[in-house]
A and B are shown apart, each in its own frame.
Chain A
Amino acid sequence: MSGFSVTEPSKRQKWFAGILVITYAMVTLMPLLWIIATGFKSPEDAISYPPKVIFEPSLEGYVNLFTTRTRVTTSMEETLLPPETWYDEIARDSGTVISGPTRYGQRFTNSVIIGFGSTFFSIFFGTLAAYAFSRFRVPIKEDLLFFILSTRMMPPIAVAIPIFLMFRQLGLNDTHLGMILLYTAVNLSLSVWLLKGFIDEIPLEYEEAALIDGYTRFQAFYKVVLPQAATGIASTAIFCLIFAWNEYAFAVLLTSGSAQTAPPFIPTIIGVGGQDWPAVAAGATIFLIPVMIFTILLRKHLLRGITFGAVRK
């Protein structure tokens, strides 16, 4: 039907709306683009005054992010061998010599271990609980569901006080296990609520048919419901991962060296002298890009995820 519709906006309205939204999107993108651009500036360009929009790209920030460097003293100069690799060369150009790797790789690895570990457990327990809440008559169901949600309302710092003491007693401070447990607990509320919504949408008839075919409850759950819920589980998993990936307050208070994740670490990257903005920007870029990709993948389920399933588009 190409007839007149009162709800279809006119062409002019569309143009006007499009221009305004695109303008906003550009403005909102600027800080992000600036982070990415700063990662490719030399330290001098990054703190140039006034700021430079056009600059000669340099990989110094990335080299600085991954290496610690020592300033070349006059006595050292004579014994130095010529630079072997491109990153040696970049370091040498700024009067330093690479003395080893930084902790960034390790912190990033920690983020991956803790992020994926806690996501696995919160999905595992969350799916079970969500299935039970969706399919069975659980006593005091509403209260339990609200209780699960309410755990997310407490300020993290307030929760961190007893957790800190508890972890100290158990020797869980600054361990992967401790952080995985904690993030699993925090994410459970999200995964239970989201997954309950997804499972609610799976028609009961499938299970009924399976039960009649002689499947046990477990088999019906495992072989029928889980495959049906796969998309929902995947998007819930990404939301859990993003939370664990971005979390700062617990990480800064409960980890120090061995299990520290990237968010408390990135703001503390400094170079020889002051804060090394290109290295910070490089670290931030590497850290933010996975989340940007996830956001694009998730765009269909985004709304549901951020509202704990309260709004389903």
Chain B
Amino acid sequence: MKASKLLMATALTAVTAAGASSASAESLTLCWAAWDPANALVELSKDFEAESGIDMEFEFVPWPNFADRMLNELNSGGKLCDLLIGDSQWIGGAAENGNYVKLNDFFDAEGITMDDFIPATVTGYAEWPKGTPNYWALPAYADVVGWTYRRDWFENADLQAEFKGKYGYDLGVPASLDILKDIAEFFQGREIDGKTVYGAAIYTERGSEGITMGVTNALYNYGFEYQNPDKPYDLEGYVNSEGAVAGLEFYKDLYDAGTPPGSSNWYMGDTIDAYKSGQVALQMNFAFIWPGVNADPNVGGDRTGYFANPPGPAGQFAQLGGQGISVVANTDNMDGALAYIKWFAQGDVQDQWTEMGGASAMSSVVNAPGFAGEQPYNQAFLDSMAIVKDFWAEPSYASLLLPMQELVHGYVIAGQGTAQEALDSLVSEWTEVFEDEGLL
């Protein structure tokens, strides 16, 4: 009885929701990825609905399909989304193809200034072309790749002693990527609490952007650069520099020596599954999962610690995640969409946003005294946000991502060719894309 009621109720709400979104103009559809922060945003937006009288509808798509679905939606001229929290790398294409509304005039009129936001997020989420004051989004969710580790295992005296004996230094938060690899190797195949456990869960996903978001954390720190800093789109010797090759080799070594068998196609959801089910000592993931890990009954609380991506020989960087919120040019409710952004940009809303499980990119929120100590992961988050670097945000971003996914996956997971060959091929593929675009 009750089950059928639940079914009926959901079916009815679904039907009415579908009807409402097309019928009344005073509703807004916000599109984003389906993940924890999105659920928090639904809660947060209830205040906006109460204040403005506008109904909020949401369309959330899981990460592996997010880019595919949403870029398809933009390119098909669809009217599904009024507001889109699109991934940072789409901004170039969306700006140049006229998919997003330029927000400069609106910001000026409403007194919203980008100076209030963390500079890295303004560059990463809002600007196109990069480094110029042309804004296509308001930084909405600050995110970055970092690591979680099993503090309970790291603090086990027996394991500490054995580790010291084997490697000659103490087991703890790794001070470099090399040490991280040692630790992963150390835990690989070990018997803990009657279960075989493994070293690290890292990004290896093939289909969307997974392995790229993972491998860049090694590439950057070993000396990979996207282009000649003095000559845009000049790739030779930067993308395939000696350091870049060493970085790629490092990622393969880490994959071969310290990751769970079968972790050949893993992204955010898979690494978190592995970590929560107690399979691994270390987990690479975007910071958005940290509140969830902290609250987990099996691995949460004291059992987990957090740290920023460790440095390599060429410095310390971390892959930027996160998104800005944009108004879709095709919207029928421009005023409502802008009203939402205006509401969202307020300081107290941003405070609440972080508190409810979001991650504000507003400087006043993250620099507030006491923020770092408020949650066990806040310090690692601040450390990580200070060292971010992002993938291409060019209009041809997808054409740049696809060969990178294929070549890196082919080398790291499938073991085809050498790191040098993979990166050389990447240079020629990317050069071809830039030639097609008329940039070279």
Chain A residues in contact with chain B, CB under 8 A? 44, 47-49, 62, 66-71, 73, 75, 85-87, 95, 99-106, 108-109, 164, 167-168, 171, 173-174, 252-254, 256-258, 264, 267-270, 272-275
The reply to whether B73 and A274 contact each other, CB–CB distance below 8 Å, is no
In the complex with contacts A167-B76, A174-B76, A268-B62, A71-B42 CB distance below 8 A: no
Q: How far is the CA of A67 from the CA of B39 in the complex (A)?
A: 11
Q: Contact partner of A99 among B43, B61, B276, CB < 8 A?
A: B43
Q: How far is the CA of A100 from the CA of B270 in the complex (A)?
A: 25
Q: Contact partner of B78 among A85, A105, A256, CB < 8 A?
A: A256
Closest beta carbon of chain B to A23's beta carbon, Å: 28
The reply to whether B9 and A101 contact each other, CB–CB distance below 8 Å, is yes
In the complex with contacts A70-B39, A70-B40, A167-B76, A256-B69 CB distance below 8 A: yes
Judged by DSSP, the binding face of A is mixed
Q: Contact partner of A268 among B3, B61, B195, B292, CB < 8 A?
A: B61
The reply to whether A106 and B59 contact each other, CB–CB distance below 8 Å, is no
Q: Contact partner of A66 among B10, B31, B39, B65, CB < 8 A?
A: B10
Across the interface, which residues of A come within 8 angstroms of B355, CB to CB? 73, 75
Closest beta carbon of chain B to A262's beta carbon, Å: 12
Which residues between 146 and 175 of chain B lie within 8 Å of chain A, taking CB atoms? none
Closest 6 CB pairs of A and B: A106-B14, A274-B269, A105-B14, A105-B10, A274-B273, A257-B80
Q: How far is the CA of A272 from the CA of B273 in the complex (A)?
A: 11
The reply to whether A270 and B43 contact each other, CB–CB distance below 8 Å, is no
Q: How far is the CA of A275 from the CA of B274 in the complex (A)?
A: 11
The reply to whether B18 and A68 contact each other, CB–CB distance below 8 Å, is no
The reply to whether A106 and B42 contact each other, CB–CB distance below 8 Å, is no
Q: How far is the CA of A232 from the CA of B193 in the complex (A)?
A: 62
The reply to whether A173 and B76 contact each other, CB–CB distance below 8 Å, is yes
Q: Does B243 contact A (CB under 8 A)?
A: no
Across the interface, which residues of A come within 8 angstroms of B31, CB to CB? 257
In the complex with contacts A49-B195, A70-B40, A87-B6 CB distance below 8 A: yes
In the complex with contacts A99-B39, A273-B36, A273-B292, A47-B277 CB distance below 8 A: yes
Q: Contact partner of B62 among A71, A106, A270, CB < 8 A?
A: A270
The reply to whether B22 and A268 contact each other, CB–CB distance below 8 Å, is no
The reply to whether B295 and A47 contact each other, CB–CB distance below 8 Å, is no
Q: Contact partner of A168 among B10, B22, B64, B77, CB < 8 A?
A: B77
Which residues between 54 and 90 of chain B lie within 8 Å of chain A, taking CB atoms? 59, 61-62, 64-65, 68-70, 72-73, 76-78, 80-81
Smallest CB gap from A164: residue in B: B76
Across the interface, which residues of A come within 8 angstroms of B17, CB to CB? 106
Q: How far is the CA of A273 from the CA of B72 in the complex (A)?
A: 26
Judged by DSSP, the binding face of B is helix
The reply to whether A274 and B80 contact each other, CB–CB distance below 8 Å, is no
The reply to whether A109 and B14 contact each other, CB–CB distance below 8 Å, is yes
Q: Contact partner of B43 among A70, A174, A254, A257, CB < 8 A?
A: A70
Which residues between 240 and 281 of chain B lie within 8 Å of chain A, taking CB atoms? 268-270, 272-273, 276-277, 279
Q: How far is the CA of A49 from the CA of B31 in the complex (A)?
A: 35
The reply to whether A273 and B13 contact each other, CB–CB distance below 8 Å, is no
The reply to whether A268 and B11 contact each other, CB–CB distance below 8 Å, is no
Q: How far is the CA of A87 from the CA of B65 in the complex (A)?
A: 29
Across the interface, which residues of B come within 8 angstroms of A274, CB to CB? 268-270, 272-273, 276
Q: Contact partner of B39 among A69, A105, A173, A268, CB < 8 A?
A: A69
Q: Does B34 contact A (CB under 8 A)?
A: yes
Across the interface, which residues of A come within 8 angstroms of B68, CB to CB? 252
Q: How far is the CA of A264 from the CA of B69 in the complex (A)?
A: 10
Smallest CB gap from A101: residue in B: B10
Smallest CB gap from B42: residue in A: A99
Which residues between 1 and 42 of chain B lie within 8 Å of chain A, taking CB atoms? 2-3, 6-7, 9-11, 13-15, 17-18, 21-22, 29, 31, 34-36, 39-40, 42
A-B contact pairs, 26 of them (CB 8 A): A48-B277, A70-B42, A71-B291, A71-B292, A71-B357, A73-B355, A73-B356, A75-B355, A85-B2, A100-B42, A104-B10, A106-B15, A106-B17, A108-B11, A109-B18, A164-B76, A254-B76, A256-B73, A256-B78, A256-B80, A257-B59, A257-B78, A258-B18, A267-B65, A274-B270, A275-B269
Q: How far is the CA of A75 from the CA of B289 in the complex (A)?
A: 19
Closest beta carbon of chain B to A171's beta carbon, Å: 8
Across the interface, which residues of B come within 8 angstroms of A49, CB to CB? 195, 277, 279
Q: How far is the CA of A257 from the CA of B34 in the complex (A)?
A: 13
Across the interface, which residues of A come within 8 angstroms of B292, CB to CB? 71, 272-273
Closest beta carbon of chain B to A275's beta carbon, Å: 5
Smallest CB gap from B260: residue in A: A49
Smallest CB gap from A275: residue in B: B269
Smallest CB gap from A100: residue in B: B42
Closest beta carbon of chain B to A141's beta carbon, Å: 39
Across the interface, which residues of B come within 8 angstroms of A67, CB to CB? 10
Closest beta carbon of chain A to B379's beta carbon, Å: 20
Smallest CB gap from B197: residue in A: A49
Across the interface, which residues of B come within 8 angstroms of A48, CB to CB? 277
Across the interface, which residues of B come within 8 angstroms of A99, CB to CB? 39, 42-43
Which residues between 170 and 184 of chain B lie within 8 Å of chain A, taking CB atoms? none
Q: How far is the CA of A99 from the CA of B46 in the complex (A)?
A: 11
Question: Apart from A100-B13, A273-B289, what are 19 other A-B pairs with CB-CB below 8 Å?
Answer: A48-B277, A49-B195, A69-B39, A70-B42, A71-B39, A73-B355, A73-B356, A86-B2, A103-B14, A105-B11, A106-B17, A109-B15, A252-B68, A256-B70, A257-B31, A268-B64, A268-B65, A270-B62, A274-B272
